[in-house]
Amino acid sequence: MISENNIHLGKILIVDDQEANVILLERVLRIAGYVSITRTTDPSEVVALHVNNHYDLILLDLQMPGMDGFQVMQALKELALDDYLPILVITAQPDHKLRALKAGARDFITKPFDLTEVQIRVHNMLEVRLLQQQTKQLYEQVVAEQKVSERLLLNVLPQAIAQRLKGRPEVTVDNFTEVIADSFADVTVLFADIVNFSKFSEGVSPEVLVDVLNDIFTRFDSIADKRGLEKIKTIGDAYMAAAGLPLPAKDHAIRAANMALDMMDAMEQFNQQRHHQLKVRIGISTGSVVAGVIGKRKFLYDLWGDVVNTASRMESHGVAGRIQVTDATQRWLKEMFSLEARGTIEVKGKGEMHTWFLNERREIH
């Protein structure tokens, strides 16, 4: 609701070639409580005045020498300062009223002036104008908040999943459980862990601890974006990503291998820049998974399947500063990467497994 005080603060321009008319209209409006009034007898000044002042209402005489009111309205339209043309025309010619409304005027007052009519029409015009401005501001605020919400959603969920959720009107805060679940036959999962980070954290302040993790994981995030992996989550000092979902990719294992090697390089660069001696341990496995969104409020895109557990074991049973992969992953990588057989190791919950170390990219001749 627009208050009377705000209506009386509306900016008004009076345009009439007759000085007596502009003086009379200004006096009537000031008596009615309007405080921001400009007047001119020169219609050629209107555009420049409106550019500088952004009037909420222009009282415009139609019959003026040199430049009539219709030409003024056309010039204001071409100015395109606002979609709304705040024109209240002044005319003594009945046939001009319809033409003026078609030209973009919002209303009219008739000469000779009925002062009560002038006050009512000015009040109504300003109220409509201020309501229109208020509605536009609210709309822009809603759009801005929607963009923020979308950015936040994309920070939580993969873009493809976020787009699917936006297209499902039945999804609400109260029925968000398991609205999306997909199966993927070929995915490569990567786990990384900062070795002995718990011991490192004992000797630094909370601020330093968070800063170090944020720096490292931000570097990892950039690599994931570059190499085409989806970051799934971080748990403490562990980082999880996957290639081949939510959009399938034939080169999923190659993407994961490239990311793992880049992560090793990123850790070396971090240690040189921050004067630390931290190491990362990485495990990779390839296979089928189920992926989906769970939770009602703090929802999460997550993965389930044996390959997830195996990738985690490849990391936890790995070696600091090295990348351990399964036989399944090695078969995808052997043509493009140099791998070193580690042999058979005992893996918790899996028994004996033959694994490999990913060393470097092969030179392609």
- Please report, for the chain, the start and end positions of each structural domain, with discontinuous segments joined by +: 4-139, 173-361
CA-nearest of 124, 62, 54 to 84 is 54
* Cα–Cα dist 319/342, whole Å: 11
Across the chain, mean pLDDT equals 87
Q: What distance in Å separates the CA atoms of residue 346 and residue 80, rounded to the nearest whole number? A: 74
pLDDT average, residue stretch 114-121 = 91
Name the DSSP letter for residue 32.
T
Picking from 240, 263, 249, the residue whose alpha carbon sits closest to that of residue 311 is: 240
Task: Tell me the pLDDT tens digit for each residue of 329-341.
Answer: 999 999 999 999 9
DSSP codes, 271-287: HHHHT----EEEEEEEE
pLDDT value at position 164?
Answer: 66
Which is catalytic among the residues 250, 313, 322, 331? 313
Closest CA to 365 of 323, 326, 322, 336: 336
CB 178 within 8 A of CB 293: yes
Bridge partners (DSSP) of residue 344 are 354
- 144 has a pLDDT exceeding 80: no
Q: Kindly give the pairing relationship between strand 180-194 and strand 238-243.
A: antiparallel
102 an active-site residue? no
Residue 310 above 50 pLDDT? yes
Superfamily of domain 173-361: Nucleotide cyclase, GGDEF domain (3.30.70.1230)
Given pLDDT bands bounded at 50, 70 and 90, which one contains residue 149? low
Where is 186: in which H helix or E strand?
strand 180-194
Task: Give yes or no for residue 1 having a pLDDT over 70.
Answer: no
pLDDT at 28 over 50: yes
* pLDDT at residue 82 tops 80: no
CATH class of 4-139: alpha beta
Range 278-307 average pLDDT: 86
Active site residue 30: no
Q: What is the pLDDT of residue 162?
A: 66
- pLDDT at position 155, please? 61
Catalytic one among 348, 350, 361, 362? 348
